[in-house]
Amino acid sequence: MQGIWTTERIREAEGRLFAVTPEGELMRRASFGLSVQLADFLEDHTGGVSGRRVVLLVGSGDNGGDALWAGAFLRRRGVAVTAILLKPEKAHPAGLKALKRAGGRAVSAEDGPQWIARADVVVDGIVGISASGSLRPDAARLVDLVEAPIVAVDLPSGVDPDTGAVDGPAVRATRTVTFGGLKPVHVLAPSWCGEVVLVDIGLRPELGEPQLRRLDIVDVAAAWPVPGPEDDKYSQGVVGIAAGSATYPGAAVLAAGSAVRATSGLVRYAGHAADIVRAQWPEVIATGTVADAGRVQAWVVGPGIGTGSDGRDVLRYVLGQGVPVCADADATTIIAKSPDVLDARDPDTPLVLTPHAGEYERLMGRKPGPDRVTAAREAAKKYNAVVLLKGHCTVIAAPDGRIAVNRPRGAWLATAGSGDVLSGLVGALLAAGSDPWLAAAAAADVHSLAGAIAAQNAPTSASGLVHAIPEAIRAIRSLTS
C-alpha cells in the first residue's frame, strides 16, 4: 500500500530530520532529484537537454528555493535557465546565488512574459506545502500565459496541499516532483498533478504511520478471493442481491451480474425482478422476497428498491440477518430518512455505505465540501460503517479511522448503472469474508480498471463494465503472479 501523509506530519518529520542533517542538505537532495527529473522531462518532451530553455516561476519560500537550486544543477547540463522572481526581496537567497553563479538569469514578474513565451518547460516553484488558497493574481497572470508543459515542485501551486481542493486559479502540471512522501494533494487532485514522481530525501523513517493509503495492484490482487482446491460454490461466500423492481429491473441485473463476474461463489437474488435476472444470469438463484432467499454471507441492498415502505422493510430485514451488508443507492436514502432501520443491525456486523455527494448530503445534512477525506471520516464515525464516498477520487473511510483513496483511471465510469456494478463487487468481497474497508477499496479499484478496459478510450456502459470485470481481475492477478 502506498502511504500518504498530511502536510503537518511531513513538516514534523522534516523538522526531526533537519535537526540531524547539515544545513541545506535536505534542499540539496530535493533539488538535485528535481533537476534529474527535469532533465528527464526535457529529454521526453523536446528530445534533448543541452540548449533547451527552462523558466522557473519562483515564489517566496523553500519551494522556490528548490526550483532555483534545480536551475543551478540544470545549468551544468547546458540548459538556459531563467528565474522569474514573484517577490524578488524574498527569493531564497542561497538558491538565487547558486543559480546566478551557474550562469542563470533572474528577472522580475513584469519582464516574465517574454521568457515564458520562449520556454520549453516551465517549473512551478511558486508555493509548496505552506500554501493557502488559490494562486495570487501576479502568479495567476503569469501561469495563464504558459503554453509549455509545467513541472510542479512538490505540488501544483493553487491546489490545496491537504484536500486537493481548487477554488480559483491553479497550476495544471504535466509532472509533479515531490519529496520525502506523498501528500494528500497527490492522490486527491491527480488531474492537477499529472504524473507524480517521488524523490527520496531520507524522510521515510521519520514519517510513521500514514494518514491515508492507496492500494497497490498487489494489495488488490491479494484481497481478491481465489477459490482453493477444497472450495465449493458455498464455501467461497454466497452473496445476496436485494435490488431492482419490476418496472426498473436494470439495477438488479447489473448488481447481480457484477457479483457473478467478480467471484466464482454463488449469487442469490431476491426481489421483483427475479424473472429478468434469471433470464440474464441463469447461474443466479432468484426468488421474489428476501425472506425466501436462503442463507447468504453478505447482502447488497438498495439499487432500484425505491425509498418507500417496501424498500424500508427489505432493508430492515437484511440488516437483521447478522451478515455484512453493502447498502447502496435507495438504501442510503432510506437510512437518511429513517435512521431507526439501523436498529435492526448488530453493530459488530460490517456495514458499507456507498454515497455519492447528494446521498452524502442526505445522510449528513450537509454537502461533503472540499475536504472529502474529513467528510468520509465523519460519516464513517456517525454510522459506524465503512463509507465509500464516490467522486472523481473515491474516498473510503473506516470507522476505525483508516482512509483509502482510489486511483481513478479516466472518467468513463460516470455512466448510468455504474454504481450498481460497484455495489455488486463490494458484496462479492464481503461475502468472501474480506475486511469491509479493504473490500470496498479493492472493489473500487477493480471497478475503475474494468471501466478503463471496457471504455478503451470510447464511451462505455454499465453492461460493458460488468463484462470487463473478469479481464480487470485477470490483469491485476497477472501483474502480480
Ligand X SMILES: NC(=O)C1=CN([C@@H]2O[C@H](COP(=O)(O)OP(=O)(O)OC[C@H]3O[C@@H](n4cnc5c(N)ncnc54)[C@H](OP(=O)(O)O)[C@@H]3O)[C@@H](O)[C@H]2O)[C@@H](O)CC1
* Annotation: binding site for K(+): 63, 124, 157
Known binding-site residue numbers: 62-66, 124, 128-134, 154, 157, 251, 304, 356, 390-394, 419-420
Q: Is the dihedral of CA 12, 369, 335, 187 positive or negative?
A: negative
Query: Of the two residues 152 and 273, which places its CB atom closer to K ion in the complex?
Result: 152
250: nearest Cα among 450, 453, 392, 424: 424
Three-state SS at 116:
helix
The item of K ion, ligand X, none sharing an interface with residue 59, based on CB under 5 to 8 Å by kind, is ligand X
- Contact call for residue 157 and K ion (CB under 5 A): yes
- The answer to whether residues 204 and 173 touch, using CB atoms and an 8 Å cutoff, is no
Q: Which of 24, 48, 78, 133 binds ligand X (CB under 6 A)?
A: 133
7 is written with which cell numbers?
Answer: 502536510
Binding mask 57-76 for ligand X (x = CB under 6 A): --xxxxxx-x----------
DSSP one-letter string for 316-352: HHHHTTSS-EEE-THHHHHHHH-GGGGGGS-TTS-EE
Query: Of the two residues 120 and 206, which places its CB atom closer to ligand X in the complex?
Result: 206
397: nearest Cα among 420, 421, 372: 372
- Contact call for residue 66 and K ion (CB under 5 A): no
- Contact call for residue 139 and ligand X (CB under 6 A): yes
Q: Identify which range of 77-85, 120-128, 332-340, 408-416 contacts K ion by CB under 5 A.
A: 120-128
- Contact call for residue 360 and ligand X (CB under 6 A): no
Q: Report d(CA 279, CA 194) in Å as an integer.
A: 44
The item of K ion, ligand X, none sharing an interface with residue 124, based on CB under 5 to 8 Å by kind, is K ion
Query: Of the two residues 153 and 398, which places its CB atom closer to K ion in the complex?
Result: 153
Sequence-distant (6+) residues with CB within 8 A of 347 are: 384
Smallest distance, Å, CB 35 to ligand X? 12
Q: Identify which range of 43-51, 151-159, 161-169, 270-278 contacts K ion by CB under 5 A.
A: 151-159
DSSP one-letter string for 70-87: HHHHHHTTT-EEEEEESS
Known binding-site residue numbers for AMP: 390-394, 419
364 is written with which cell numbers?
Answer: 449528513
Smallest distance, Å, CB 288 to ligand X? 59
Known binding-site residue numbers for (6S)-NADPHX: 62-66, 128-134, 154, 251, 304, 356, 420
Q: Report d(CA 123, CA 150) in Å as an integer.
A: 6
Q: Identify which range of 91-99, 153-161, 302-310, 470-478 contacts K ion by CB under 5 A.
A: 153-161
121: nearest Cα among 100, 147, 144: 147
Q: Which of 14, 66, 120, 124 binds K ion (CB under 5 A)?
A: 124
> Considering CB under 5 A, how many residues would be counted as binding K ion?
4
- Contact call for residue 168 and ligand X (CB under 6 A): no
- Contact call for residue 30 and ligand X (CB under 6 A): yes
- The answer to whether residues 367 and 360 touch, using CB atoms and an 8 Å cutoff, is yes
Q: Identify which range of 117-125, 249-257, 273-281, 283-291 contacts K ion by CB under 5 A.
A: 117-125
Q: Report d(CA 327, CA 130) in Å as an integer.
A: 40
Query: Of the two residues 179 and 192, which places its CB atom closer to ligand X in the complex?
Result: 179
- Contact call for residue 274 and ligand X (CB under 6 A): no
Give Dmax (Cα) for the chain: 81
Q: Which residue is nearest to ligand X (CB)?
A: 128
Q: Which of 57, 126, 259, 429 binds ligand X (CB under 6 A)?
A: 126
- Contact call for residue 130 and ligand X (CB under 6 A): yes
- The answer to whether residues 464 and 454 touch, using CB atoms and an 8 Å cutoff, is yes
Smallest distance, Å, CB 152 to ligand X? 10
Q: Which residues pair with 300 in a beta bridge?
A: 241, 326
Sequence-distant (6+) residues with CB within 8 A of 246 are: 272, 273
Smallest distance, Å, CB 79 to ligand X? 20
Q: What are phi and psi of 431, to 5 degrees?
A: -65, -30
- The answer to whether residues 170 and 158 touch, using CB atoms and an 8 Å cutoff, is yes
312: nearest Cα among 326, 322, 302, 299: 302
- Contact call for residue 184 and ligand X (CB under 6 A): no
> Considering CB under 6 A, how many residues would be counted as binding ligand X?
29
Q: Name the site residues for ligand X (rule: CB under 6 A).
A: 14, 18, 26-27, 30, 59-64, 66, 126-133, 135-136, 139, 153-154, 157-158, 179, 201
> Interface with K ion by CB under 5 A: which residues?
124, 152-153, 157
